[in-house]
Amino acid sequence: MDWVHAFSRDKVGTTGANFLKISPGARARGMGEAFVGVADDAHSAWWNPAALLSLKGMEVALAHELWLETIKQDFVYLVQPLYPDAIGMGISYFWMEPMDRIDGASGPSGEKFSAYDLVGTLSYARPWFGLSLGGSLKYIQQKIDRTSGSSVALDLGILKTYSHSQWGLGIRNIGPSFKFGNRSHPLPLTTMLGLSYYSDKVIIAGELDLPIDNAPSFGIGIEHKERFGAFHTSGRVGYRTNTVKDLGYLTGLSAGLGLGINRFNIDYSWKPWGDLGTTHHISLRIGFGMTEAEERQLTFLRRLERLKKAIKEAASDREREKRTEELRDWLGWIAILEFASIGQGIDPALGRELTRELETHLAATGLVKMIGRKYVDEAMEEERIDLVGFPGKKTLLSLGQTLGAGYFIMGTVLKTSELYEIDLRLAETRAGTVLVKWQYSGKKEELPLLMARISKEITGHPGLEEETGIQEGKDKSLPQRDKISVAVVRFKAENVSESEATICSDLLRTNLVNMQFFTLVDREYMGTILKEQKFQQTGCTTQECAVKIGKILNVEKVIVGKLARLKDKYYLFISFVDVERGLIEYSANRNFGSLDKMESIIKNLSRKMALEVVKD
């Protein structure tokens, strides 16, 4: 290999089996062939074998296409997930109608000859430490009249997926030289690096290709999808630079359309080739097995399990906090609709009690962001929604937009003779898709324990079920208690600004409200009362001072604290004081390098305080 001239136009025409460069599928072609970082359909066996893992069910892609002049291409690719791995296979066949054989100066001989190119592919992919890895083994054959050649090649791919983006790396056509007749030429080895950003409707992709027999080229593509129930349509446009120098700037352009119903898709692409003409391609993609709703369910559950596992296996508190924030940000805000009580003789308040029970468990984990019951009830009243059971998609969407909720938990409690049947569902707001179902039956005293189990299934955290000893065979119900009245005194500032200390105490106050166990004294009201009593709250850090404030405000607990800075570190000290007994029930101190960490530390401290209350 002459690496000095590789990846340049000096090497044009030096490789063999160049039909290996022709990509399959109208979808990718319409996006400027910027697909190694997208590759989420059956064509991934060609584009990036690591992306086989992106498919949620078996899919087949096939086409019969007309290229320039009389060249035709037939291909079929099949991908089958074998969780957690995936396999694929495919065959691509280029051919042309028989042509007249011309023997030198004598002209046409009256005989015909044919030509074809054949590629058979076997692919495999598996996950590895957060990456998707894949490879394709290819058998290559070419024949023109009486001359033929064959070889084998290997494609390798890597794919890394994030919440709204992914990158892919591929190396295509690794293998020995291709011998055709008496001549041998290296295979058209190409390295590809692709990036993509995607949302529910839009994919934006870019790709850099480094071929050994030509200059580097770049492609960019955009796909926009709209859904109308079971139908969906797509518009695509792309640009690739590999043909621009020889055939003109317009030849870099491509465009395409897509039409689908459920798992059946038709893709079309258009591309100009300058003086050579224009090509129009149509290909089909057919999915088997799961519906689109089932795909969304599997995607949700896979990611949820991956994030829960990452939190559980975190090697340090810092890593655990990072993974916890990732889970919270991904789930967004969750709202629980009050469960409906159904059946003769059932207490109408039971559904409401179990709703509060589940809210308490989820809030105590500190792993989800709960929308308060007050706001949910107000939104339902504003939207004039009176629910019994499960709302429809339009209702969920409307209510979700009002509340800013990404997910809803809803359900029913049905009484049948001596048993109670619970049917709960977690649904996605945007699509109205039910992602998870929980169905249990049991005696009334067992229902609170079931709420704890459901909370654990969602977050992977034992929450109150384990940390308070509420487990099967022990206590079957959560302790019932009124909310505890608490006052949070503005934290003392040492070597930090007063505003930074105030923000810290306000964050604690907000998080304690979300824990569902406390009634917090309003900050302005507290300031007014203390001012009337001529009591200065700033600088209050001792338990004696906390007890005095607690008696003035007539609350059960008072929280005092201090935010200090020494050199390049912040230090937070908090004391949770029982007013009646005059004792510090809980104290904690934390240090952190920047104020960016303050919010996650306050969240964890709030959760620990809530658990201390439940244990009492």
CA distance 99 to 80: 39
| Predicted local distance difference test score (pLDDT) of residue 223 | 97
Tell me what percent of the residues of the chain surpass a pLDDT of 90.
24
Rounded average pLDDT over 375-404: 73
Residue 385 has pLDDT above 80, yes or no: no
| Predicted local distance difference test score (pLDDT) of residue 224 | 96
Residue 472 has pLDDT above 60, yes or no: no
pLDDT in tens, 17-74: 888 988 888 999 999 999 999 988 999 889 999 999 888 788 999 988 777 667 888 8
Q: How confident is the model at residue 4 (pLDDT cuts 50, 70, 90)?
A: very low
Residue 230 has pLDDT above 70, yes or no: yes
Residue 240 has pLDDT above 90, yes or no: yes
| Predicted local distance difference test score (pLDDT) of residue 197 | 93
| Predicted local distance difference test score (pLDDT) of residue 473 | 36
| Predicted local distance difference test score (pLDDT) of residue 142 | 92
Per-residue three-class SS string for 533-581: CCCCCCCCCCHHHHHHHHHHHCCCEEEEEEEEEECCEEEEEEEEEECCC
Residue 215 has pLDDT above 60, yes or no: yes
pLDDT in tens, 184-197: 889 999 999 999 99
**84 upstream amide cis, omega within 30 of 0:** yes
| Predicted local distance difference test score (pLDDT) of residue 159 | 94
Between 176 and 129, the more confident residue is 176
Q: Which residues contact 520 (CB under 8 A, 6 or more apart)?
A: 486, 487, 488, 509, 512, 513
Domain ranges, ordered by start, for the chain: 9-101+128-290, 330-467, 484-615
Identify the CATH assignment for 484-615 out of 3.40.50.10070, 3.90.1710.10, 3.40.640.10, 3.30.2420.10: 3.40.50.10070
Tell me what percent of the residues of the chain surpass a pLDDT of 70.
88
So what's the architecture of 9-101+128-290 in CATH? Answer: Beta Barrel (2.40)
Rounded average pLDDT over 128-137: 92
| Predicted local distance difference test score (pLDDT) of residue 508 | 86
| Predicted local distance difference test score (pLDDT) of residue 106 | 65
Residue 171 has pLDDT above 90, yes or no: yes
- At 254 the three-state DSSP class reads strand
pLDDT in tens, 275-314: 888 888 899 999 886 666 666 777 777 778 877 788 878 8
- Is-same-fold flag (330-467; 484-615)? yes
pLDDT in tens, 343-367: 777 888 888 888 888 887 787 776 7
CATH (residue range 330-467): 3.40.50.10070
Between 270 and 400, the more confident residue is 270
Highest average pLDDT, of 163-177, 442-456, 562-576, comes from: 163-177
Rounded average pLDDT over 374-401: 73
Rounded average pLDDT over 100-115: 73
DSSP state at residue 9:
G
| Predicted local distance difference test score (pLDDT) of residue 474 | 36
Residue 528 has pLDDT above 70, yes or no: yes
Of the listed ranges 14-28, 529-543, 564-578, the least confidently predicted one is 529-543
| Predicted local distance difference test score (pLDDT) of residue 124 | 96
- Over the range 166-185, which residues count as b (16 or more CB within 10 Å of their CB) and which as e? bbbbbbbbebeebebeeeeb
Q: Which two tokens stand for residue 610?
A: 């809530």
CA-based nearest residue to 441, from 423, 411, 421, 424: 421
Going from the C-alpha of 549 to that of each of 342, 530, 535, 558, the distances in angstroms are 47, 8, 8, 8
- At 355 the three-state DSSP class reads helix
Going from the C-alpha of 284 to that of each of 36, 58, 236, 366, the distances in angstroms are 19, 14, 16, 46
